[in-house]
Amino acid sequence: MGQNLEKKQYNLDYIISKIITIITILGVLALIVFISASLFFLAPIDSKDEALVDFQVKEGASKIQIAEELDKAGIIKNAFFFKFYMKINEHEIYPGTYQLSKSMSVDEIIKILNSGNSLENETITVTFIEGKRFISYVKQISEVFVLSESDILAKLSNEEYLTSLIDKYWFLNESILNKEVKYPLEGYLFPDTYIIKKSASIEDIINIMLTTMDQKLTIYKDEINLSNYKINELITLASIIELEGANSLDRAGVAGVFYNRLKNGWTLGSDVTTYYAVDKNFDVDLSLNDINLCSPYNTRGTCVHGLPIGPIASPSLASISAVIEPTNHEYFYFVADKSKNTHYSKTEAEHRDIINKLKKEGNWFEY
């Protein structure tokens, strides 16, 4: 009787042991199968296909929806394993448009979706150089941000849009709506290095540049309000100083020369205004017809007895500062030498003598 009980107990233990062994083996096999399946389904669909496709994560989309959309788009092998992987790793996914490819693993895809670096947030660093004309900026914007030049020009000449900018920025006034002004925002887009979203619209870019101009000008707002000149006139003169005084270390002194000419009823006689009027670059000589052209921009001709109708380039802060805080003196002429030292004179004869002297000394600056 006792032996039978022991035998039965032995058989039961044996059976249980066998069952446990079988279950363990099956569990290990299941785990191996699951791991193998996971490795397969979490791997890239095609490691050689690196073509990028835009994938949009919509605002408020659940992880289940995102997994299913990725599956439909053919970017992942299996939505279930993608959802499982996200769950165990507790990754957040942020809305936006991302560039993904079939050569990416699930881990790589999730890292991108978790980064928040969507196309909407991707930035471009762009530098706008002082002294450049508005049309140069338009070309640069169209190249960097893949925007049409014609669309940019159309937008930036739209009266309704320009009026909205006048309402928003204190330094813009009705002068930019004058039909004789070539480009309404000429001179008002502050030259600087900007970090701008790649997806930025032309309105976004213009607002960034105008806001920077606002910040620069606000420092001088009290002086501007006390000036005998309107803000658009000050920016216009600053744009001339930017080009005329580019080779001078004394822009405030150069500004003083032009103020003296204005106070005494002289024409400014500035070549750079003529270049702008006739749309020529500075590497081309002006003709007599160019100089005599009757244009609201040309201060070499007889039609303009004061400032041009508007700015002719984007002035730097140095030129703006020089116009707002000029050097008071009695000179009407200036010339800069090779070392950027500026020589002033009261008469044209004195001015010619200085030029001849600089040429003899080999110190004359050739443009």
* 340 confidence band (pLDDT: 50, 70, 90): confident
Do 75 and 196 have their domain in common? no
Q: Quick one: what percent of the chain has pLDDT higher than 90?
A: 62
Mean pLDDT of 142-155: 94
Which of 65, 97, 115 delimits the end of a domain? 115
183 with 294, same domain: the answer is no
Residue 128, helix vs strand vs coil: coil
Asked, for residue 365, whether it belongs to a domain, the answer is no
Q: Do residues 173 and 230 share a domain?
A: no
Average pLDDT, integer, range 308-331: 97
Same domain as 355, residue 235: yes
Task: Assess whether 250 and 321 both reside in one domain.
Answer: yes
Asked whether residue 296 carries a pLDDT value surpassing 80, the answer given is yes
Residue 363 tokens read as 């110190």
Separation of first and last alpha carbons in the chain = 122
pLDDT digits (tens, 9 = 90+) for 43-69: 888 878 888 888 999 988 888 899 899
Position 6 in a domain? no
Domain region containing 341 = 221-360
Question: Are 179 and 246 in a shared domain?
Answer: no
Query: Is 39 among the domain residues?
Result: no
Is residue 8 one of the residues assigned to a domain? no
| Contact call for residues 271 and 258 (beta carbons, < 8 A) | no
Any idea what the Cα angle at residue 168 is, between residues 164 and 173, rounded to 5°? Answer: 75
Domain shared by 229 and 319, yes or no: yes
Any domain includes 367: no
Q: How many domains does the chain have?
A: 3
- Looking at the domain assignment, is residue 89 inside a domain? yes
Residue 217 pLDDT: 97
Q: Record the tokens describing residue 257, joined without a space.
A: 């020369």
CA distances from 259 to 233, 236, 328 (A): 12, 13, 9
- Of 115, 137, 158, the residue at which a domain comes to its end is 115
- Answer yes or no: is pLDDT of 227 > 70: yes
**Residues 299-306, mean pLDDT to the nearest whole number:** 90
pLDDT value for 229: 96
CATH number of domain containing 58: 3.30.1490.480
3-state secondary structure of 209: helix
Shared domain check, 333 and 229: yes
Look at residues 266, 347, 260 and name the one whose alpha carbon lies nearest to residue 300: 266
Q: Inform me whether the pLDDT recorded for 18 exceeds 80.
A: no
- In this prediction, residue 309 has a pLDDT band, given cuts at 50, 70 and 90, of very high
Residue 48 pLDDT: 85
Percent of the chain scoring above 70 in pLDDT:
89
The CA-based angle 200-135-285, given to 5 degrees, is 160
User: Hey, which of 167-176, 245-254, 353-362 has the most confident mean pLDDT?
Assistant: 167-176
Confidence of residue 189 (pLDDT cuts 50, 70, 90): very high
Query: Is 90 exceeded by the pLDDT of residue 318?
Result: yes
Q: How far apart are CA 228 and CA 358, in angstroms?
A: 36
pTM above 0.85, yes or no: no
pLDDT of residue 311: 98
Let me know if residue 23 belongs to a domain.
Answer: no
